A and B are shown apart, each in its own frame.
Chain A
Amino acid sequence: MGAGSAIALVFLTSLHLFAATTAPAATDDRTLYEGDSIYHHITIRQEGGERCMIFGRQRDLRQTCIDLAKPDASVFEYTSMMFAGFLFRPDAKKICLIGLGGGYIPTVFRMHLPQVQLRTVEVDPLVEKLAKQYFRFALPSGQTLSIDDGRQFLKKSRERYDQIWLDAFNSDYVPAHMTTKEFLQLAKSRLNEGGIVIQNLFGDNKLYDAQIATFQAVFARVFVFGGQKSGSCIIVASDRPACEPAALRKQAEKAGGKIGRIDLIAEAGKCRVAPVRKNAPILTDDFNPANLLLMQKK
Chain B
Amino acid sequence: MQIVYAVFMLLLVTFGAVVMSLEILSSNLMSPYFGGSIYIWGSIISSFMVHFSVGYVLGGYLSLRLPRLSVLAAFLVVCSLWVILIPAFYRPVCELVADRIDDVRLGSLVAMNLIFFVPVSIMAMVSPYIIGITTAGRRPSWLTAGMVLFISTVGSFSGTNVTAFFLISLFPVSRIITGLGMICLAVSLFTLALRPDRRIEK
Q: Which residue of B lies closest to A293 (CB)?
A: B169
**Complex alpha-carbon distance, A84 and B170, angstroms:** 37
**Complex alpha-carbon distance, A286 and B174, angstroms:** 6
> Which positions 126-170 of chain A face chain B at CB distance < 8 Å?
149, 151-152, 155-156, 170
User: Is the CB–CB distance between A151 and B32 below 8 Å?
Assistant: yes
Q: Does B104 contact A (CB under 8 A)?
A: yes
Q: Which residue of A lies closest to B34 (CB)?
A: A152
User: Is the CB–CB distance between B35 and A286 below 8 Å?
Assistant: no
User: Is the CB–CB distance between A177 and B168 below 8 Å?
Assistant: no
Query: Hey, which chain B residues are within 8 Å of A285, CB to CB?
Result: 28, 32
Query: Hey, which chain A residues are within 8 Å of B31, CB to CB?
Result: 175-177
> Which positions 14-65 of chain A face chain B at CB distance < 8 Å?
38-39
Q: List 15 A-B contacts (CB under 8 A).
A: A39-B37, A39-B38, A149-B34, A149-B36, A149-B37, A151-B35, A155-B98, A156-B102, A175-B31, A175-B36, A284-B172, A285-B28, A287-B173, A291-B169, A292-B168
Q: Does A238 contact B (CB under 8 A)?
A: no
Which has the most chain B C-beta neighbours within 10 Å: A149, A176, A284, A286?
A286
Q: Does B171 contact A (CB under 8 A)?
A: yes
B181 to A: closest C-beta gap in Å? 16
Given the known inter-chain contacts A152-B104, A180-B32, please indicate yes or no for A287 contacting B171, CB distance below 8 A. yes
Query: Hey, which chain A residues are within 8 Å of B39, CB to CB?
Result: 38
Instruction: Mark interface residues in A178-197 (1 if CB within 8 Å of B CB, else 0).
Output: 00101100000000000000
A287 to B: closest C-beta gap in Å? 4
Query: Hey, which chain B residues are within 8 Å of A287, CB to CB?
Result: 171-173
Query: Hey, which chain B residues are within 8 Å of A284, CB to CB?
Result: 172
Q: Across chains A and B, which 7 residue pairs bring their CB atoms closest together, nearest first? A: A149-B35, A287-B172, A292-B169, A289-B169, A177-B31, A286-B172, A285-B32
B163 to A: closest C-beta gap in Å? 12
Chain A interface residue number, banded:
20 to 34
Query: Hey, which chain B residues are within 8 Å of A39, CB to CB?
Result: 37-38
User: Is the CB–CB distance between A176 and B36 below 8 Å?
Assistant: yes
Q: Which residue of B lies closest to A149 (CB)?
A: B35
Known: A176-B31, A177-B31, A286-B174. 6 other contacts (CB 8 A): A38-B39, A151-B35, A152-B98, A180-B32, A285-B32, A292-B169
Number of residues from B at the complex interface, CB < 8 A:
20
**Complex alpha-carbon distance, A287 and B167, angstroms:** 10
Query: Hey, which chain A residues are within 8 Å of B173, CB to CB?
Result: 286-287
> Which positions 241-297 of chain A face chain B at CB distance < 8 Å?
284-289, 291-292
Query: Hey, which chain B residues are within 8 Å of A152, CB to CB?
Result: 33-35, 98, 104
A-B contact count (CB 8 A): 49
**Complex alpha-carbon distance, A278 and B37, angstroms:** 33
Q: Which of B32, B37, B170 contacts A123 (CB 8 A)?
A: B37
Q: Which of A177, A289, A292 contacts B36 (CB 8 A)?
A: A177
A170 to B: closest C-beta gap in Å? 8
B193 to A: closest C-beta gap in Å? 33
Query: Hey, which chain B residues are within 8 Å of A289, CB to CB?
Result: 168-170
Q: Which of B35, B38, B102, B169 contacts A177 (CB 8 A)?
A: B35
**Complex alpha-carbon distance, A213 and B45, angstroms:** 34
B97 to A: closest C-beta gap in Å? 12
Which has the most chain A C-beta neighbours within 10 Å: B102, B169, B171?
B169
Q: Which residue of B lies closest to A153 (CB)?
A: B35
A222 to B: closest C-beta gap in Å? 22
User: Is the CB–CB distance between B37 and A177 below 8 Å?
Assistant: no
**Complex alpha-carbon distance, A289 and B169, angstroms:** 5
User: Is the CB–CB distance between A123 and B35 below 8 Å?
Assistant: yes
**Complex alpha-carbon distance, A225 and B174, angstroms:** 35
**Complex alpha-carbon distance, A289 and B174, angstroms:** 13
Query: Hey, which chain B residues are within 8 Å of A155, CB to CB?
Result: 98
Q: Which residue of A lies closest to B174 (CB)?
A: A286
Q: Which residue of B lies closest to A284 (CB)?
A: B172
Query: Hey, which chain A residues are within 8 Å of B168, CB to CB?
Result: 289, 292
User: Is the CB–CB distance between B35 and A182 below 8 Å?
Assistant: no
A172 to B: closest C-beta gap in Å? 11
Query: Hey, which chain B residues are within 8 Å of A175, CB to CB?
Result: 31, 36
> Which positions 173-199 of chain B face chain A at CB distance < 8 Å?
173-174
**Complex alpha-carbon distance, A176 and B174, angstroms:** 17
**Complex alpha-carbon distance, A291 and B36, angstroms:** 14
> Which positions 29-55 of chain B face chain A at CB distance < 8 Å?
31-39
Query: Hey, which chain A residues are within 8 Å of B33, CB to CB?
Result: 152
**Complex alpha-carbon distance, A155 and B170, angstroms:** 29
Q: Which of B104, B170, B172, B174 contacts A149 (CB 8 A)?
A: B104
